[in-house]
Amino acid sequence: MSQAATGIDIKKSAIDSVLAGLIALVVFGPIVGLVLDGFAFNAEPKRLFAIVAVVMVGRFLASWFFQSTKGRDFLYKHTSKDEGVHVLAPGHKSKLKWIIPLTILIAFAVPFIASKYVLTVVILGLIYVLLGLGLNIVVGLAGLLDLGFVGFYAIGAYGLALGYEHLGLGFWSMLPIAAIVAAIFGAILGFPVLRMHGDYLAIVTLGFGEIIRLVLTNWTDLTHGPNGMNAPLPTFFGLEFKRRASEGHVPFHEFFGLSYSSAYKYIFIYLVLLLVVLGVLYVKKRLTQMPIGRAWEALREDEIACRSLGLNHVLVKLSAFMIGASTGGLAGVFFATYQGFVNPSSFTFFESALILAIVVLGGMGSTLGVVIAAFVLTVAPELLREFADYRVLAFGILMVLMMIWKPRGLVRMTRIGVSAREGNVK
């Protein structure tokens, strides 16, 4: 009777197993058990029974596991409908601290081991990480639903291209300028929507994203409209990554006596991008621990309470919009330099939806979740190139399933609680 002591009911497991087997028989029977041969059917019971047996054994083991103490904990952890943020005790130290340096180390090693193709995919992934982090501040932390985030992405990307063509500025000057310009646009968007919430805010921001795209498409004197614009590559202390440098410049490969390879520029972009992403991650981590970060979260949780406590909601909302927007702008600059070319069709509503999906799938407010989701949603479509036609379908199904089973996203927002002065209040 040892099983009874741990509360495992074999009979229940057996019933579960038989039921699952019957369902498998019905589902797989016509598909696997019958093979069309000309105009006749051939029964293939062996294959069918193998599958049914696997399902039954699997269900039996799963049922067994979920009745054990460990399994019950697992189930509780993953199905409980406990809403909101998970807050750890103030002195909490993660046991997985070593994972961060290890990840950074691997990240820096990637360009030297991966192929050029893989590298370009990872760069795209990192660009979406930046976008996700930016939107995460607006949606995840401050709780302002923004459907026009792609506008800031476009401002960053076109900032680089326009600055290069009209002002003769390169990548390095435009990187900070584009971030600042995007932040200013963030404020411009922020002001009129200060009093809006939820759906209304979403509609206005949606309009903002579309306005940016339409202006870029139609202001042909400035942006060349749908023909797009060229964007410059970054330089390495004045060395260019082209085969032949422009006048007065030396190409990177000649200076170091290497033979030309187009991979160098991707390696360089990757490394710069990685540093920027790490910088943004660090800044974001610090911000969430500062009063402004707490103010964002407070605003998300209860705006009226915030105002009754003397919090200036104008400053709080604008700062969230501006910091989020500037991160989007940075991502745009990298996107433009990585493509070497920008065109309004890169900045459609679908991009906004994708970025929002990254934040929602990752887990609102969760940095780790956003990073993982950004890679899943950008790298997975690359891996699934053969199923190109079904990619958006798969994306939709994934969203629906996630919202049903994991409404809080892959990684629930977790943060370490704040105390007045650690240890002082006993």
Partner 1 sequence: MTALMEFKEVDVHYGPIQALKKVSLEIKEGEIVTMIGANGAGKSTLLMSIFGQPRISAGQIIYRGEDISNKSAHYVASNGLAQSPEGRRIFPGMTVEENLLMGTIPIGMDHADEDMRKMFDLFSRLEERRNQRASTMSGGEQQMLAIARALMSRPKLLLLDEPSLGLAPIIVKQIFEILKDVASSGMTIFLVEQNANHALKLADRGYVMVNGEIRMTGTGDELLVNPEVREAYLGGH
Q: Any contact of residue 420 with partner 1 (CB under 8 A)? A: yes
CB of 191 to partner 1, least distance (A): 15
Span interacting with partner 1, options 32-40, 81-89, 105-113, 366-374, rule CB under 8 A: 81-89
Q: Which stretch binds partner 1 (CB under 8 A): 24-32, 213-221, 237-245, 414-422?
A: 414-422
- Identify the helix (H) or strand (E) that includes residue 105: helix 99-113
CA-CA-CA-CA torsion sign (400, 145, 134, 164): positive
Find out whether 270 and 111 touch, Cβ atoms under 8 Å.
yes
Label each residue of 181-245 as H, E or C: HHHHHHHHHHCCCCCCCHHHHHHHHHHHHHHHHHHHHHCHHHHCHHHCEECCCCCECCEECCCCC
Q: How far is the CB of 309 from partner 1 (least distance, A)?
A: 5
Query: Which CB, 168 or 310, lies closer to partner 1?
Result: 310
CA distance 58 to 317: 50
In the complex, least distance from residue 184 CB atom to partner 1, rounded to whole angstroms: 24
418 is an interface residue for partner 1 by CB under 8 A: yes
What is the smallest separation between the CB atom of 305 and partner 1, expressed in angstroms? 4
Residue 43, phi then psi, degrees to nearest 5:
-80, 135
Nearer to partner 1, 2 or 424 (CB): 424
Q: Using the rule CB under 8 A, which residue among 218, 227, 345, 419 binds partner 1?
A: 419
Give the distance from CA 136 to its chain's centroid. Answer: 9
Closer to partner 1 by Cβ: residue 87 or 393: 87
CB of 300 to partner 1, least distance (A): 8
Q: Is 96 one of the binding residues for partner 1 (CB under 8 A)?
A: no
Q: Can you list the positions of beta strands (E) in 72-186?
A: 86-88
**Which of 2, 5, 83, 98 touches partner 1 (CB under 8 A)?**
83
Using CB under 8 A, which residues numbered 266 to 305 contact partner 1? 291, 294-295, 297-298, 301-302, 304-305
Task: Kindly state the smallest distance separating residue 80's Cβ from partner 1, in Å.
Answer: 12
140 vs 148 by CB, closer to partner 1: 140
Q: Which is nearer to partner 1, 306 or 372 (CB)?
A: 306
Q: Under the criterion CB under 8 A, does residue 196 sit at the interface with partner 1?
A: no
Give SS3 for 415.
Answer: strand
Q: Which is nearer to partner 1, 77 or 307 (CB)?
A: 307
Site residues for partner 1, window 355-394 (CB under 8 A)?
none
User: Distances in Å between the alpha carbon of 122 and those of 52, 107, 110, 152, 175?
Assistant: 40, 10, 9, 22, 20
For position 105 contacting partner 1 by CB under 8 A, the verdict is no
**Three-state DSSP state, 420:** coil
- Beta carbons within 10 angstroms of residue 47's beta carbon: 13
Q: Which among 10-18, 123-131, 208-216, 411-419 is the span making contact with partner 1, rule CB under 8 A?
A: 411-419
Which residues fall within 8 angstroms of residue 324, CB to CB, at 6 or more apart? 134, 135, 136, 137, 138, 146, 149, 152, 186
Q: Provide Rg for the chain, Cα atoms.
A: 26
Q: What is the identity of the amino acid at 45? A: P
Q: Cβ closer to partner 1: 218 or 312? A: 312
Q: Which of 305/403 has CB closer to partner 1? A: 305
Q: Site residues for partner 1, window 307-336 (CB under 8 A)?
A: 307-313
Does the footprint of partner 1 cover residue 425 (CB under 8 A)?
A: yes
Of 90, 192, 279, 407, the residue at the interface with partner 1 (CB under 8 A) is 90
CB of 195 to partner 1, least distance (A): 12
Other residues' Cβ atoms within 10 Å of the Cβ of residue 168: 9
CB neighbour class for 155 (10 Å; exposed up to 12, middle 13-18, buried from 19): buried
Smaller CB separation from partner 1, 311 or 380: 311
Is the Cβ of residue 197 or residue 307 nearer to partner 1 in the bound state? 307
Which is nearest to 369 in space by CA: 135, 142, 198, 156? 135
- We find the least distance from the C-beta atom of residue 273 to partner 1, in angstroms, to be 32
171 and 186 Cβ atoms separated by less than 8 Å: no
Read out DSSP for 15-75? HHHHHHHHHHHHHHIIIIIEEEETTEEEE-HHHHHHHHHHHHHHHHHHHHHHHSHHHHHHH
Q: Which is nearer to partner 1, 329 or 409 (CB)?
A: 409
Binding site for partner 1 (CB under 8 A): 83-85, 87, 89-90, 291, 294-295, 297-298, 301-302, 304-313, 417-421, 424-425
